[in-house]
Chain A
Amino acid sequence: MNIIVCVKQTVDLQQVRVRKETREPVFDNVPLTIGNIDKNALEEAVRIREKVGGKVIAVSAGSEQLADTIKEALAMGADEAILVVSPEFEGADSGVAAAALAKAIGRVEDYSLILLGEGSADNYSGQVGPRLAEILGLPQVTYVSSLEVENDTIKAVRNLDDCFENVEVGTPAVVSVVSEINEPRIPSVTQILKAGKKPKEVFKPEDLGIEITRSIDTLSNLAPEQDRKRILFQEGADKDVASLAAALEAEGLVRR
């Protein structure tokens, strides 16, 4: 059984800083990585393969560095990768991503499952899975916190706002997972070394007939203004708490 996992190349969000004067995010020297929830999707795919066999194929659209970024997914256990590479994917919207991924997935003859995270680490729009399902004419099962594949049936528990829903659907289908589905493995050194040698197919958008048409215009992207007092009470003993309580009272925040 072949499983496709869609992953997104993003900047390492832990390392993005904000320029104080302009509130602009600073990307200089910030390494590229794959999203945390993407790792949950990969982990789930690898676990299913360990049970039922087949191949895990990582699919991604990203910048020229993607062949390097994708090693993380290959080290975690993906068997091969199909990549679409273009500088135009940087900051591209979910519609562009879904269209590119659909064409890349079209290279795979036979698959039972397309897995991805509920949202990307950076944009978190949650659109790519449903858009992909629509393009490919497949059922979608989103926000999955538990997953089983038996023969040709996918059994999933969905974690929705107010309920858990147990659903069943035939293969193939698009399944998006939430982070609590599993604990992604940390690849061993051997796996990391092997990752570079695993097969990768790398395409340009025009090779696959992908047209990049953006439908979102970003007018600005700034850190929100935070004008905080930043007063620390460090007198020690009981004085600090008394000062804090007094400050809260002075602000009218204490109900008596």
Chain B
Amino acid sequence: MATILVFSERDEVAWQLLGRAVELGREMDLRVAAAALGPADLRGYANRGAHTVYTSKNEQLQAFEASVYAEALSQVAKQAESTVILVGSTRRGKELAGRLAQKLGAGCITDADSLEVKDGRLVCTRNALGGATVATQVITTGLQVISVSPGVGEPVESPETAQVVEVELALKPSPVKVVARSDKGQDAVDIEGAEVLVCVGKGLNRQDDLEMVEELAEALGGLVACTKPLATDEKWLPEERVIGLSGKSGKPVLAICLGISGQVQFTVGIRDAKTIVAVNQDPNAFIWQMADYGIVGDLYEVVPRLTAALKG
């Protein structure tokens, strides 16, 4: 029986995807399979909704390298008779998706924000034109590779235990040698799950002034996030706080945008917020198109007063 195959080098992402795969499998009449390769927590996959979990002890899988993992997954996909392969849209997942799709002669969509079955076809949405639009797309090849954005599925607990199949894989060593790895030492904030985000952009003059922004976030019970330049150019905030096309997307009930002009590369990350508030000096800034409420003014004037008003 044909399968929908799920893989992520991060177990928790794979388990989320399996939750969605179970629903899609039911609608598309596909059995759900997972690939738990290399250092994956094989036991953790037992009751996540997969009918079969493919695993391998091949030593080339000890560390993730895209070309090796693409080869491994192409062999697993053949054995599993997969017609749909879902991978998590991490950076590693995306580089894997492209290579795997090419190897299998498959069409591929990356960063899919939603997956729905319509008239028997798997319909994906993803950002296009740098975030200005949302494209609704289908893959027209018999085999499809899709990398799926975080938050699309929820892990499930299944009473049935997956059948574990150990596969023999023929893999060559990776040509890429990893000489060092350093963790980013992230502060483990959940920007994507935050109820309130206080976002700050180039309107901020100095790193020290973040304190004022943090006070506002605290008064609202929210988290501080930022536009890309504040993290990658100025390095005032860590990269996992970046909102936008090359950063995170959230669905907060409230997003406050301070000193942010509102280019789509940023707004794509907060446009699903229930309420958007903007503070900006430029009365013609694009952010006003996106805002429910706003004050045209200097954020240095407005923010402390707003914090005080909210504290009551």
- How many residues of A are counted as interface, with CB atoms below 8 angstroms from the partner's CB atoms? 78
Provide the bound-state CA to CA distance between A125 and B246, in Å: 11
From B108-116, B163-171, B203-211, the one touching the partner chain is B108-116
Q: Hey, which chain B residues are within 8 Å of A124, CB to CB? A: 111, 127, 130, 245-246
Least Cβ distance of B272 to chain A in Å?
8
From A48-56, A70-78, A218-226, the one touching the partner chain is A218-226
Report which of B66, B91, B109, B132 forms a contact with A223, defined as CB distance below 8 A.
B132
User: Are B129 and A244 neighbours in the complex by a CB distance under 8 Å?
Assistant: no
Report B113-124 CB contacts with A as 1/0, cut-off 8 Å.
Answer: 000000000010
Least CB separation from A134: chain B residue: B102
Least Cβ distance of A58 to chain B in Å?
21
Q: Which of B102, B140, B254, B305: most chain A Cβ within 10 A? A: B102
User: Are A233 and B184 neighbours in the complex by a CB distance under 8 Å?
Assistant: no
Least Cβ distance of A10 to chain B in Å?
8
Tell me, yes or no, whether B5 is within 8 Å of chain A by CB.
Answer: no
A142-B95, A215-B107, A216-B140 known; A224-B306 Cβ under 8 A: no
User: Are A216 and B139 neighbours in the complex by a CB distance under 8 Å?
Assistant: yes
Report A151-178 CB contacts with B as 1/0, cut-off 8 Å.
Answer: 0000000011111111111100100100
Q: Hey, which chain A residues are within 8 Å of B26, CB to CB? A: none
User: Are B99 and A143 neighbours in the complex by a CB distance under 8 Å?
Assistant: no
- Those of A57-114 within 8 Å (CB) of chain B: 93-95, 98
Q: Hey, which chain A residues are within 8 Å of B67, CB to CB? A: 133-134, 139-140
User: Are B310 and A254 neighbours in the complex by a CB distance under 8 Å?
Assistant: yes
Tell me, yes or no, whether A214 is within 8 Å of chain B by CB.
Answer: yes
Q: Hey, which chain A residues are within 8 Å of B293, CB to CB? A: 229, 231-233, 244, 247-248
Give the contact-size bracket for chain B.
35 or more
Tell me, yes or no, whether A146 is within 8 Å of chain B by CB.
Answer: no
Q: Classify the interface of chain A: helix, strand, loop or mixed.
A: mixed
Tell me, yes or no, whether B284 is within 8 Å of chain A by CB.
Answer: no
User: Are A253 and B102 neighbours in the complex by a CB distance under 8 Å?
Assistant: no
Report which of B184, B245, B306 forms a contact with A162, defined as CB distance below 8 A.
B184
Provide the bound-state CA to CA distance between A254 and B95, in Å: 42
User: Are B294 and A248 neighbours in the complex by a CB distance under 8 Å?
Assistant: no
Provide the bound-state CA to CA distance between A11 and B129, in Å: 9
From B31-39, B45-53, B78-86, B172-180, the one touching the partner chain is B172-180
User: Are A130 and B220 neighbours in the complex by a CB distance under 8 Å?
Assistant: no
Provide the bound-state CA to CA distance between A167 and B275, in Å: 44
A95-B108, A248-B254 known; A233-B294 Cβ under 8 A: yes
Provide the bound-state CA to CA distance between A226 and B183, in Å: 38
Tell me, yes or no, whether A230 is within 8 Å of chain B by CB.
Answer: yes
Report which of B97, B127, B175 forms a contact with A139, defined as CB distance below 8 A.
B175
Tell me, yes or no, whether B103 is within 8 Å of chain A by CB.
Answer: yes
Q: Hey, which chain B residues are within 8 Å of A121, CB to CB? A: 130
Q: Hey, which chain A residues are within 8 Å of B134, CB to CB? A: 221-224
Report B40-77 CB contacts with A as 1/0, cut-off 8 Å.
Answer: 00000000000000000000000000110010000000
User: Are A228 and B290 neighbours in the complex by a CB distance under 8 Å?
Assistant: yes
Provide the bound-state CA to CA distance between A254 and B309, in Å: 11
A165-B178, A228-B292 known; A215-B139 Cβ under 8 A: yes
From A1-9, A192-200, A203-211, A235-243, the one touching the partner chain is A235-243
Provide the bound-state CA to CA distance between A228 and B295, in Å: 15
A95-B101, A162-B183 known; A140-B294 Cβ under 8 A: no
Least Cβ distance of B294 to chain A in Å?
5
Q: Hey, which chain A residues are within 8 Å of B212, CB to CB? A: none
User: Are B184 and A94 neighbours in the complex by a CB distance under 8 Å?
Assistant: no
Q: Hey, which chain B residues are within 8 Å of A140, CB to CB? A: 66-67, 95, 99, 176
Provide the bound-state CA to CA distance between A217 and B139, in Å: 6
User: Are A221 and B128 neighbours in the complex by a CB distance under 8 Å?
Assistant: yes
Q: Hey, which chain A residues are within 8 Å of B220, CB to CB? A: 253-255
Report A21-50 CB contacts with B as 1/0, cut-off 8 Å.
Answer: 001010000000000000000000000000
Q: Hey, which chain A residues are within 8 Å of B291, CB to CB? A: 228-230
Report A244-256 CB contacts with B as 1/0, cut-off 8 Å.
Answer: 1101100101111
Tell me, yes or no, whether B276 is within 8 Å of chain A by CB.
Answer: yes
Q: Hey, which chain B residues are within 8 Å of A168, CB to CB? A: 176-177, 179
Q: Hey, which chain A residues are within 8 Å of B200, CB to CB? A: none
Instruction: List 26 A-B pairs, Cβ < 8 Å.
Output: A16-B129, A16-B132, A94-B98, A122-B128, A125-B98, A127-B94, A127-B97, A131-B102, A134-B67, A139-B174, A140-B66, A159-B239, A163-B184, A165-B178, A173-B175, A180-B233, A215-B140, A220-B135, A221-B135, A224-B134, A228-B276, A228-B292, A230-B291, A232-B295, A248-B254, A253-B220
- Name B's A-contacting residues (CB within 8 A): 66-67, 70, 90-92, 94-99, 101-103, 106-111, 123, 127-130, 132-141, 174-184, 186, 196, 220-221, 232-233, 239, 245-246, 253-254, 263-264, 271, 275-277, 288-297, 302, 305-306, 309-310, 312
Nearest 10 interchain pairs by C-beta: A215-B107, A130-B98, A127-B98, A134-B102, A130-B99, A245-B309, A166-B180, A131-B102, A229-B292, A139-B175
